[in-house]
Each structure stands twice: as C-alpha cells, then as structure tokens.
A and B are shown apart, each in its own frame.
Chain A
C-alpha cells in the first residue's frame, strides 16, 4: 500500500523529492569545474576545433550524464540493492578485461577506447564497490560479530583494489581502501580505526626518524597507556599487544620503503621534506602561492596559461583554482566540497535503510579521499598520486562516474520512505 503511493509520488513529480542541497552542490561544483577547465586549457598557441576544446567536451559530458541520471532517477531504489552484487561482479570482470584488452595510457592499462571516447572501468568500480559494501553491511544481522562484517567488507574492497594495482594504477587502487572509512559508522570497534591511524602515524615517523628513536617513543607511549589503564578500565593486554605491534611495524616500514621504485620513493621523500621539490610540484606550489589572497583573476594565471604546471586541467587543476582564485576562491571551492561531503553524511544519517546509509558513507569516504589527496598533492602535503579532483578535473570517465555515484545516492534518498525488501 505504502509502496504504491511512494511510487506514484516519484513517477508524478520525481524532481521535487531530490534533496535540494545535494543537487545544488553537485551542479554548482560541476559548473565551476567547466569554468576552471576552460581557464586551465586556454592556450593561444594551440588552436583547437570547437568540439575539441576541453571545456566544450566537458559540457557535452554533462549532457551525456543526463541519460544515466534520468535512468537512475526513474528506477526503483530497491533495484540497486538487489543489483549491488551483480553490478559489482560485472565491474570486476570489466577490470579484468581491461587489463587484457585495454589501451595503455600513462603506463596504466586501465582504459577502454571507443573512438574519441575513453572510459576507465576503475572509476565505475568505485560506485559498484560502494554499493557492494553497503549491501554487505545491510544484509548482515545487527548482532553479527564485527569480525565477520569486517572480513566480508574487506574481501569486497580487496578484489577491486588488487585488480587496479595490477593495472598499474596504484593511486586509484588506494581509493578502494579509502571506501573502508565508511565502516566507521558500522558496528566495528573504533579502537580498530584508532589503531589504523596509529599505524599510519608510525609509518610516517618511521620514514623521517631514526628507527631506534621511534622505538623509544613507541615504548614510551605504551607505558603511558599502561598508566592510563590504572585510571580507566582499558584492557592492558590490548595496550601491550598494540605497543608490540607498533614496535615491529616501526622497524618494518623502512625496509618496505626501500623496496619501492625510485620514483615512488622520490614522491614520498618530497612530501617528507627530504631533498628539494620536484620541479612539477614546485610549479604547482608557485601557482597556488602566487594567487595570494584574491588570486590573479579568471583566466589570468600565468603559471597555468604558459604551461608551467603539468596536467593542469586534470590532476593538477586545483593549482589553477589557487592561482586565479587565490585564498578566497580556493577556500570557496573547498567549502563547497566540505558541504557536499557533509550533506551526504547528514542525508545518510536520515536514511532508514541500512543500505542507503552505508552507501552514503562509502561515497562520502571516496569524495573525502579524492579531495584531500588531490588538493593535498598540488600543495605538496601528500605524495603525488594521480587521482582526479571530483567533478572538476577534465575527463569524461571521471565526471560521469562521480555524477552517477552522487545521483544514485540522491535517488536512494528519494525513496527513503520506502521500506526496502529486507527491512
């Protein structure tokens, strides 16, 4: 009975049900993206056909996106829950096929070419993997032990991660690890995430500190933890075990680092402040830094216009924002992204369906990772990992897949009053 009425509402005035804030944020960022691409691609020396201009192509992609958008909005939200695994498996198969038959671009065999259009299955796998993780979480009983949830979710994330690593695109592969952040919201001890954070910090310090010094610090903090356990009820066994684990990890990391390829080592050492900036990165920092408070004005960035920044309309597009928009423009864009992610979390929280909520957290994690890594990389905060700035970077695959990812969530939210089959 209720199902029927919901369906009627959707079929009559579907657009009214779309979350206005999410929709406006999505469109705003996409349109800003087109303007930034136009500015970043401007080059008086190269005369392109109208349809060859990157921003025109991006506009075309925006319109192409309408097709999947309409399809998604017209479909029943329950469909995606049912189809989560089939879609996931299908995208895994595509990832395998692309390794065998795909075109190689920039050293990674991760592209399908159809004439002038190139599609990257790994981009779409982010959405299907998010669906699959959400389905895994939703399909398990509330009282299932966290271990089982963790194991299943990890398995779902690991497969695409592995395949994309094998394609040679380590940066994109890391995105699948980042999806795991959505598990924060699930019934898994927070101490695990705390442990993961500690591991990350210890890894970082292991690369900039002497191994024995770090070992002393780890032991010192372990002792502090034991002291703390006298005041509060914290299992001492856990503190001792994690201290030992971190101690071992702190000695393993430097060895692992030495196994990396030279260019990877360099990217990491640049972030750690060892040695000078890589020239490309320096140009990106110069571009952003020279924007100062208010920027040089739209399409007036010299670093961008005169090709000093590499990949200036794709991975390094944020340098154009920084140069031409200054602190004002950069803050503006970052705030839009923060609002988008925040809104996704808020909308996720109001979902009655476990599936929709987890999916929301999953894509929030993906967006957070992309924005932080991409923007951080242009400013030398994180190693140069070639992943695009969502909705802004030039590229059809990326734009299309982020659009589908977000619109799908909007659709799930539209049907939030529906009771999903399993609930």
Chain B
C-alpha cells in the first residue's frame, strides 16, 4: 500500500517533468520547423544591401583628348563612437581652409543624423566630401588632433583648363527637390549629379548603373564582413564615355584670345555641322566651382559683372549688325529683286521719302557690285537692296512682303533652335508683320519702321550659333548642309547627323559673288589686315552701335574660301569696330585650326595684341 502510493507520487512528479519537456520540445519544433517566419529573418537581420558607385563616363573632344575626367579626392569621414565629446570645429575649419559656418553646418547636420538614428554611430559617414589633394594632405597631417575623423578616397570630376564651362556644366550635390525626381532612378542624398550643360543633359548616359554589394552588419549597423564572400554582389557598370565634336586645342586657343573680353565664339565645320568651339566669356573655373570652397566661389560668380553663368553662345541674343548683310544679299539675289553685278552709288546719306534715315559709316569708292558693297559694308547699298527686295515683290501689302522676307531668313536657321540634345538654347527673333501689327496696329506701319532690318538691326536677334550656322550654309554654297551637332559618340554609338533641307534657292554664282565680297572685306575692306598668308580667308564684319557704351565688335568668317573647313562667328561686346577685335580673333583661330599654329611675326604680334586687349573696363576710361 505504502509502496504503491509512493510509486504513484513519483510518477506524478515524472509526468510533470515529461509534460514540461514535451511542451518545450513542441515549441522548438514549432519555431524551427513549422513557423517559416523565423527561417529567413536572421539573414534579413544581418545581410544588408549596400550600393556600389559606378565610375562616371569621361568626356573627350573630337580627337579623343580628355576634357572631363575623374580624379581621386578624399571624403572626410566621421566615426561617432571614436570621436570626442566636442569636435573642435574652429580648428577643423582652419585646417580645411573652409569658412567656419560651413563646417559647423555640416557637423550639425551630422549630429542631427546621429541623434535621430539615421546615421549609425558605429559606421563611418562622410561629413565633408571631395577634399582636393592639397587639403587632404594637410588634413592627414592633423588627423591625430581629431580622433574619430578619417579620410577615405573617392572620386570627383575634374576638367582641363579652358574647358568649355557652359557647354560641359559641372557636378553638384543633389538637392531635396531633385531627390524627389531622381530617387526612383537610384539616386540618394549626397550623390552628385550634373548641373547644366552636357553633364546634366547626358546624366544617365554618363552616370552608369549602381552595383549592389551584400555585407554583413551587426545589430549596431557596423560592417562585419561580406555576405557569401561577395559572390552575390552585382558589379556597378561604368557610365558611357562621351565624345564631343569640340576641338579642344581650338577651344582653348579661342578661350585664351577671349581673355578679358565679354562675348562669344562659335566655330563650326560646315562640311559636317560639327561644332568645333563654343566659348562664352566671362565664364567660371570648373575646378573651383566644385572645390572645397564651392559655396563661396559660387556666390562670387553669381555677383560678378557680365553674368558669367550666361551661355552667350547658345542663349545670348544679339543684333547681327552688318554681318547680316551677307544673308540679306542672298535673300535679295534669290528673289531676283537684285542682281549681283548691280551698282549703287552711295551718296553717304540715304534718303527715304525725302528724309535722311541713315548715313554710311564711312566714305568709300562707289560699289560696282554686291561684292564691293560687302567689302565696304555700305549701308545705303543694302538699304536699297532690302527696299527693292521687300517693295519689289509687288505683294498685296507690305505685311505679306515682310513675311516672305522673314521666311527667307528662317531658311538660314534663324528664329529657331538648332540643336537636338535639349541644351538651353535661344531661338532668336525674326520679326514678321504680326509683330509690327502688335506694335503699331494693323496696316498702320510703313516700311520705314522695318528698313533697318536690312542691315541687321532693329528687332532682328540672332544667337552666335545661328550666325555661325547661317554662314555655314553660305560656306557650303547651300549644298549638303547638316544641322549643327555637339555629340560625336556616346559610348560605342556614333551619333547620326541630321540633314538641313530648308535651304533657300540661291544660284552658285550668287554664292560666289557674296563669298568674294567676304574675301575683299578681309583683304582690303572693313576687316583689312586680317588676312592669313597662304590661306584664303574671308568674312563679314559687324559693328553694332550702342548709344550708352562702346559698339559690339562682330565678325563671321570662313576659310579656306573655296571649300571652307571652318566657319567662325565672333562677338566681342564693347569691342569696337568689327574689324578691330572680332575679325582678328576669327582670323587667328582659322589659321590655328587649319595650320596648327600661328606663323610669322606680324601674326604673332596680332595674336599678342588681341590677347592683352581688355574690353571689360570701358566705362572707367
């Protein structure tokens, strides 16, 4: 009896033991076998995806010379757990050579991230990016004074000297608004994106594709190794290299000639439409605008006179002045209201309905034909040409006549944009009858209102690119004209050219007559003294008078005249007469491009005199 009771009690205890262990075993089975939620959760805990950066594509000129490339820079990184309580921001700013408030701001943002938990305390985080070599070397020597800070190599864009700043654009840190748009495309805070120009237009092609690296992180977010030895990582694929149509040597040469001048230079190879040079001054230094003190530099450029951020080559709009007489002549010759051998005796003054409307700018021999008129840039001759052209059409009204003339202008690529790559570009202006109707009322304006259009003044506006392109048509004698282009090749893909079909019907002889006028202008006319020994060079000057400042100096030329390989449009604001500043620049560039260098003491002297010429400080004199 006792034995039985004792056994019963022992087995009650054992049943209790077994029950509890079975409960534990069941829950183990549940967690480890049945409940799949926990199976992958551990991996998700520790395996984190990190983005790896692609190498940005580089930008080359037409001959494969580097224009924009990547250099090694250093990011200053902070590791919170290794830092001292209070970072000596003042000392840091001094070592970096940065303004205190900027360093303070970046440090504050970092601390904010630490406090809100968005930046892990145990992970290095860049607080100041892209320190150049000199600054980073200085910083490296002082690192011991700043525990927790370290330098990590990274890459930054660099550009050659006198690179076409406006054309290229530059790189800047993505801002919050841009981030909204770019997040879906794999961008994130702190990334650099192209700002303006090629860097921005071809951002996606240049950037490449992000890679993915899988790393193992502990509970604090510190990296503890690679997942599967990095075998499942996806390599970042580098961006495409871009080959521009720009000739870097000519570009740099033109830029050096434009030193201390305000204006634009556009050079085109008329045979291919490829743009060889785009210089807009004043410009800015691309290295500085991305350097350590970019903030300060940016502010100084924004406030600088002459608006350095304005791209005068594509968005600057100018009255073409006398450079337009070439176009005006061709329109009249095409409409058969004038012939190339028609003479007109300049009486120095030009009267319309008994009133003196304008004078010729200088006295000269009477022009026997259109070539001589171009050589002397005779204003009365071209007024007469324009008058005959517009009035002689015997249209129902002036309005109709003016519109026909305007459409003829458009066939030279005016009043429209020419590039197809989405760069900021102005379309200029060719006024039509509707414009004057709006200005004066319908049929309440007389031809006198528009007579100055004939000599490239009035409401007519052209961009430097349009000036160069319209002369390219002339250079090609209207044959096989291609639209201007800037990109030769993206990665391995050559870019196709677009044919320009809208050319005005002008006879071959008429083209030759006009081109002969350009030759004469250089050899003995308004651009005298700018001929190139051994190379036939021609062009048309323009001097656009300004009532409150020195005239704008303009010149559009081409060489060699028989089969032009280069067309150059030059505008130097406040540069005086067309022949004095703009023509020499075009002449020197033509020689540099066709011959490789400028030869002879006279030419060297001309080059020197242009380089030292300063047209910026005219109001001080």
Contact = CB atoms under 8 A, between A and B. Distances in A.
Interface of A: 44-45, 181, 184-186, 190, 193, 283, 285-293, 301-303, 305-308, 322-323, 326-327, 330-331, 334, 337-338, 341-342, 345, 349, 361, 364, 368, 371-372, 375-376, 379-381
Nearest to A374: B24
Nearest to A185: B9
Contact of B23 (A193, A290, A303, A376): A376
A302 B33 contact: no
B32 A326 contact: yes
B32 A292 contact: yes
A46 to B, nearest CB: 11
Given A349-B6, A379-B27, 14 more contacts: A185-B9, A286-B38, A286-B45, A292-B39, A302-B216, A306-B45, A306-B46, A306-B217, A307-B220, A308-B42, A308-B219, A327-B33, A372-B20, A376-B27
A39 to B, nearest CB: 15
B191 interface: no
B215 to A, nearest CB: 12
B13 A307 contact: no
Nearest to B38: A289
B42 A303 contact: yes
A376 B38 contact: no
B31 interface: yes
A358 to B, nearest CB: 12
Nearest to A296: B42
Most buried by B among A287, A290, A368: A290
6 contacts: A181-B13, A186-B9, A308-B218, A330-B28, A337-B21, A345-B10
Contacts of B216: 302, 306
Contacts of A323: 42
A372 B16 CA distance: 11
A289 B32 contact: yes
A381 B31 CA distance: 11
B41 A286 contact: yes
Most buried by A among B45, B46, B220, B222: B45
Given A285-B31, A292-B32, A184 B13 contact: yes
A247 to B, nearest CB: 26
A369 B538 CA distance: 106
B345 interface: no
Interface in B444-458: none
A385 B42 CA distance: 24
B43 interface: yes
A326 to B, nearest CB: 6
Contact of B222 (A45, A285, A371): A45
A289 B27 CA distance: 10
Given A45-B222, A302-B43, A302-B45, A331 B17 contact: no
B13 A364 contact: yes
A57 B35 CA distance: 37
Given A331-B28, A379-B27, A381-B27, A342 B39 contact: no
Interface of B: 6, 9-10, 12-14, 16-18, 20-21, 23-25, 27-29, 31-33, 35, 37-43, 45-46, 216-220, 222, 224
Contacts of B17: 338, 341-342, 345, 364, 368
Contacts of A305: 218, 224
B220 A330 contact: no
B37 to A, nearest CB: 7
A393 B6 CA distance: 35
Given A190-B9, A381-B23, A303 B38 contact: no
Nearest to B13: A184
A288 B224 contact: no
A349 B218 CA distance: 50
Contact of A302 (B23, B29, B39, B46): B46
Nearest to A376: B24
A238 B462 CA distance: 111
A364 B21 CA distance: 13
Given A184-B13, A327-B32, A290 B25 contact: no
B13 A361 contact: yes
A334 B25 contact: yes
A22 B20 CA distance: 21
Contacts of B45: 283, 286, 302-303, 306, 308
A192 to B, nearest CB: 12
Given A289-B31, A292-B33, A331-B28, A368 B23 contact: no
Most buried by B among A193, A306, A349: A306
Contacts of A186: 9
A184 B139 CA distance: 76
Closest 6 CB pairs of A and B: A289-B38, A290-B42, A306-B218, A289-B31, A286-B41, A307-B219
Contacts of B32: 288-289, 291-293, 322, 326-327, 330
Contacts of A331: 25, 28
A232 to B, nearest CB: 17
B16 A322 contact: no
A323 B38 CA distance: 11
Contacts of B38: 285-286, 288-290
Nearest to B5: A187
A380 B28 CA distance: 11
Contacts of A342: 14, 17
Given A287-B42, A292-B39, A379 B28 contact: yes
Contacts of A184: 9, 12-13, 16
A311 to B, nearest CB: 13
A334 B21 contact: yes
B27 A44 contact: no
B19 to A, nearest CB: 10
Contacts of A341: 17
B15 to A, nearest CB: 10
Contacts of A45: 218, 222, 224
Nearest to A325: B32
B10 A379 contact: no
Given A285-B38, A345-B10, A361-B13, A307 B218 contact: yes
A145 to B, nearest CB: 16
B41 A290 contact: yes
Contacts of B39: 289-290, 292
Nearest to A326: B32
A293 B36 CA distance: 12
A31 B13 CA distance: 28
B86 to A, nearest CB: 26
A323 B16 CA distance: 27
Contacts of A372: 20-21, 23-24
Given A327-B28, A376-B27, A289 B16 contact: no
A341 B13 CA distance: 11
Contacts of A285: 31, 38
A286 B219 CA distance: 13
Contacts of A371: 24
A190 B9 CA distance: 8
B405 to A, nearest CB: 79
A416 to B, nearest CB: 16
A38 B41 CA distance: 24
A185 B29 contact: no
A200 to B, nearest CB: 12
A251 B35 CA distance: 35
Most buried by A among B25, B38, B39: B38
B513 to A, nearest CB: 85
B515 to A, nearest CB: 79
A277 B20 CA distance: 23
B28 A293 contact: no
Contact of A190 (B10, B12, B20): B12
A290 B43 contact: yes
